[in-house]
């Protein structure tokens, strides 16, 4: 039997690498030959020669797509998914909830699909595999850097011969991984930081990283598994009204609230943004094809409102720090691969809590709700709705 192979696949337009050169050893230790698509690490400035020096073989995209285990960052194009078949496993941030049809087709063709979005985030032994958290941490850091770039003043308090420049007032909405990293980064840069979350336990975490806690609406929406419960319509309206009043007093607002499944919660209406002062900045980490936290935000775009507020749709910030993001992601995906492999082959065990979370399709049928077909029973069960505060990363 030939030696099983892992293929490291690049994604068009993606600067992050699924595996960095130093991560090749972890795959080889599992009994895998490692093929790396030519240029797969170029966006993060990893040359093919570096991979070869660590024991990988640079190869064509065709060869990588024929590997037993195909590793990617974000979902490959539909044409690549159509080439997968029985005996192959695709592993990455596959976004099964978005445009699921190409993934359904790959599942029906017999490919096993492993979505890192499904790593159980409250399970301690899965923490090394948690790509959503690692990428959210990178995005939270970069959100503050982007805000500082767009802001028309200083972040820290500065005392100069010409007078005193007051520090920027920063509000972070959502205290998941990205939000807490944004709070910590803004605090380190000298801003006066306030955080907001509907979960009581998150408010304690906000205070622990040096920020004040915004008690804007009196909501207590703690739920199970670290997520917030779904808000009622009246609660959502009260929340938006309270945040509109609060946001007007800040120079920078960073939005970092996502949910496990479904569109992000709308926290700042266009009217709320209009109430902010000219020169203020809003960075929306949740902004994407399914909406965002700030109503005026446009994915991948910085706009200036008629009132002079800069609004940055920043759902893909982790990819703009490709070296750090790649190093973290490489550790996540190789750790998960090691958990699924037995003698170099993927051995699916759906009784295992981690595998039950990440295996989106296996044996010719979808297991993730979005891939199991209309009306088909879901192997995963219904996801708990999360309010602002539980971010699931910005992959």
Three-state SS string across 72-103, please? EEECCCHHHHCCCCCCCEEEEECCCCCCCHHH
Which candidate in 127, 169, 323, 352 is catalytic? 127
**Lowest-confidence region among 16-20, 184-188, 230-234, 246-250:** 230-234
Q: What's the confidence (pLDDT) of residue 161?
A: 85
Query: What is the tens place of the pLDDT at every residue in 16-43?
Result: 999 999 999 999 999 999 999 999 999 9
pLDDT over threshold 50, residue 388: no
Average pLDDT over residues 71-85: 97
b/e sequence 40-67, b meaning 16+ C-beta within 10 Å: bbebbebebebbeebebebbebebbbbb
Which candidate in 133, 134, 330, 372 is catalytic? 133
Which candidate in 203, 227, 251, 329 is catalytic? 227
Return the bridge partners of 90, or none: 70, 113
Does residue 255 contact residue 296 with C-beta atoms inside 8 Å?
A: no
Angle at which helices 131-150 and 322-340 cross, to 10°: 170
| pLDDT level of residue 1 (50, 70, 90 thresholds) | low
Most confident of 160-169, 212-221, 243-252: 243-252
C-alpha to C-alpha distances, 208 to 171, 174, 279, nearest whole angstrom: 16, 15, 30
pLDDT over threshold 60, residue 4: yes
Average model confidence (pLDDT) across the chain: 91
Query: What is the tens place of the pLDDT at every residue in 161-191?
Result: 888 999 999 999 999 999 999 999 999 999 9
At 65, which helix (H) or strand (E)?
A: helix 61-65
Average pLDDT over residues 75-103: 96
Average pLDDT over residues 116-141: 96
Average pLDDT over residues 336-361: 96
Angle at which helices 200-208 and 177-188 cross, to 10°: 30
**Lowest-confidence region among 171-185, 232-246, 320-334:** 232-246
Residue scoring higher pLDDT (304 or 210): 304
Q: What's the confidence (pLDDT) of residue 362?
A: 97
Helix (H, G, I), strand (E, B) or coil at 171: strand
Q: How many residues does the chain have?
A: 395
Asked if 127 is an active-site residue, the reply is yes
Asked if 80 is an active-site residue, the reply is no
| pLDDT level of residue 394 (50, 70, 90 thresholds) | very low
Q: Which pTM was predicted?
A: 0.90
Most confident of 204-218, 232-246, 303-317, 367-381: 303-317
Average pLDDT over residues 331-348: 96
Asked if 130 is an active-site residue, the reply is yes
Average pLDDT over residues 130-136: 97
User: How far is the C-alpha of 293 from the C-alpha of 128, rounded, in Å?
Assistant: 28
pLDDT over threshold 80, residue 392: no
Counting residues of the chain whose pLDDT is more than 70, the rounded percentage is 90
Which candidate in 130, 217, 251, 391 is catalytic? 130
b/e sequence 190-220, b meaning 16+ C-beta within 10 Å: ebbbbbbbbbeebbebbeebebebbebbebe
Residue whose token pair is 């991560």: 23
Using the 8-state DSSP alphabet, how is residue 40 labeled?
A: T
User: What are the start-end ranges of the H helices in 109-189?
Assistant: 131-150, 177-188
Q: What's the confidence (pLDDT) of residue 234?
A: 86
Catalogue all structural domains in the chain, each as residue range(s) with its CATH number. Answer: 5-129+332-366 (3.40.50.720), 137-320 (3.40.50.720)
Average pLDDT over residues 225-244: 81
Q: What's the confidence (pLDDT) of residue 231?
A: 80
Q: What's the confidence (pLDDT) of residue 377?
A: 35
Which candidate in 104, 121, 203, 240 is catalytic? 121
Q: What's the confidence (pLDDT) of residue 373?
A: 63
| pLDDT level of residue 380 (50, 70, 90 thresholds) | very low
């Amino acid at each position: 039997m030939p030696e099983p192979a892992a293929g490291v696949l690049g994604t068009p337009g993606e600067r992050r690498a699924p595996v960095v050169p130093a991560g090749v050893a972890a795959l080889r230790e599992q009994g895998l030959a490692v093929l790396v698509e030519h240029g797969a690490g170029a966006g993060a400035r990893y040359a093919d020669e570096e991979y070869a020096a660590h024991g990988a073989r640079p190869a064509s995209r065709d060869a990588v797509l024929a590997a037993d285990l195909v590793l990617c960052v974000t979902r490959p194009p539909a044409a690549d998914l159509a080439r997968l078949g029985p005996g192959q496993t695709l592993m990455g941030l596959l976004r099964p909830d978005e445009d699921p049809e190409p993934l359904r087709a790959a599942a029906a063709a017999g490919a096993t699909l492993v979505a890192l979005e499904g790593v159980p985030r409250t399970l301690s032994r899965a923490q090394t595999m948690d790509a959503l958290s690692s990428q959210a941490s990178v995005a939270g850091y970069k959100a503050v850097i982007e805000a500082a770039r767009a802001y028309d003043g200083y972040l820290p308090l500065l005392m100069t011969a010409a007078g005193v420049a007051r520090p920027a007032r920063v509000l972070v909405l959502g205290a998941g991984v990205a939000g807490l990293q944004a709070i910590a980064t803004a605090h380190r840069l000298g801003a006066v930081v306030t955080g907001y979350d509907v979960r009581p336990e998150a408010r304690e975490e906000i205070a622990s990283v040096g920020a004040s806690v915004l008690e804007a609406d009196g909501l207590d929406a703690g739920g199970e598994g670290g997520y917030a419960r779904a808000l009622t319509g009246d609660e959502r309206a009260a929340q938006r009204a309270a945040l509109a009043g609060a946001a007007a007093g800040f120079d920078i607002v960073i939005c970092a609230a996502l949910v496990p499944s479904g569109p992000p919660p709308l926290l700042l209406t266009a009217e709320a943004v209009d109430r902010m002062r000219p020169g203020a900045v809003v960075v929306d980490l949740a902004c994407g094809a399914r909406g965002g936290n700030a109503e005026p935000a446009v994915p991948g775009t910085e706009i200036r409102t008629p009132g002079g507020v800069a609004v940055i749709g920043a759902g893909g910030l982790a990819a703009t720090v490709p070296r750090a993001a790649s190093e973290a992601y490489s550790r996540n995906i190789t750790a998960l691969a090691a958990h699924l492999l037995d003698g170099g082959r993927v051995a699916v065990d759906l009784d295992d809590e981690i595998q039950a979370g990440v295996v989106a399709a296996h044996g010719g049928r979808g297991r993730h709700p979005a891939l199991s077909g209309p009306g088909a029973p879901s192997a995963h069960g219904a996801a708990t709705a999360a309010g602002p505060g539980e971010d699931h990363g910005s992959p």
